[in-house]
Amino acid sequence: MLKRAGKRGENKWITIPFEQAIQEIVEGGALFKHVPGEENRHVPGLRELWALRDPKIAKAMAEDVANLKKVIKAVRKGKQPESTLHDAIRAFQQKYREHLHTLIDPNHPDLGPKNNQLVFNWGRVKGGREHLIRRFVVDAFGSVNAHGHTTVCQGSLYFTGKAMSEQWSYDPRRITARKGDTPECRHAHRPRA
């Protein structure tokens, strides 16, 4: 197995045993302490990211987050005051006070559990493999982030880019996940490296 041995982009690698790779992926830790500038960086492992494990709590939280997203939408459209959102978040936090440690950010429950920090973003796969991937990432691990290649090239880029760029504070002037319309463009400028 290859492991990065230098700073990102330096193209420096070392070979590690398969067992060590499994250990590091599952347990995380100071995996790059040998890389200057990363001596104290903690990399979470899958065990740490698999925070919300109770399927009943996960289902209840997901339903309440769906309702919370409706409140967010109503506030963004000006149909409800912002205080309604703050009250809804406080009610969520009170209801799930014993499980707040499983969330990415308890003040933003719509980000979901830490489980969502596992992202499996694949290109083309053979038939049936997508189902196995989704079964592991979504059904077993509990992440919403299983994004595959679609019939439209770069579909996974569009979908994950949109998910990553969604904003907590709505600004109607800010468009997220857009792509340039170069076929209809008269002048295109490519920045110099």
Higher pLDDT, 111 or 123: 111
Contact status, residue 118 vs residue 47, Cβ threshold 8 Å: no
Secondary-structure percent of the chain, ordered helix, strand, coil, rounded to 5: 45, 10, 45
Which pLDDT belongs to residue 125?
79
Report DSSP state, residue 177.
Answer: S
- Judged on CB neighbours under 10 Å (0-12, 13-18, 19+), 142 is buried
Over 60: is that where the pLDDT of 187 sits?
A: no
pLDDT value of position 123: 78
Q: In the chain, what are the domain boundaries?
A: 2-49, 55-113, 118-193
The residue behind tokens 């499996």 is: 120
Looking at every residue in the chain, the average pLDDT score rounds to 85
Measured between alpha carbons, how far is 188 from 182 in angstroms, rounded to an integer?
Answer: 7
pLDDT in tens, 87-96: 999 999 999 9
The DSSP symbol for 41 reads: P
Average pLDDT of the segment spanning 139-156: 77
Which positions ≥6 away from 122 have C-beta within 8 Å?
130, 133, 147, 148, 149, 156
- The gap between the terminal CA atoms of the chain, to the nearest Å, is 32
Residue 138, pLDDT score: 94
Position with higher pLDDT, 94 vs 187: 94
Task: Record the pTM.
Answer: 0.71
Q: What is the pLDDT of residues 83-120, one digit of tens each?
A: 999 999 999 999 999 999 999 999 999 999 999 999 99
Q: What is the C-alpha to C-alpha distance for residues 103 and 110, in angstroms, rounded to an integer?
A: 9
Please give the Cα distance from 46 to 118 (Å, whole number). Answer: 8
* Contact by Cβ (8 Å): 90, 83: no
Q: Which residue has the higher pLDDT, 191 or 16?
A: 16
pLDDT of residue 193: 45
Element (H, E) at 72: helix 55-76
154: exposed, middle or buried (Cβ count in 10 Å: 0-12, 13-18, 19+): exposed
pLDDT at 61 over 80: yes
CB 12 within 8 A of CB 26: no
Percentage with pLDDT > 90 across the chain: 70
pLDDT score for 126: 78
Confidence band for 145, pLDDT divided at 50, 70 and 90: very high
pLDDT at 15 over 90: yes
Contact 51, 101 (CB under 8 A): yes
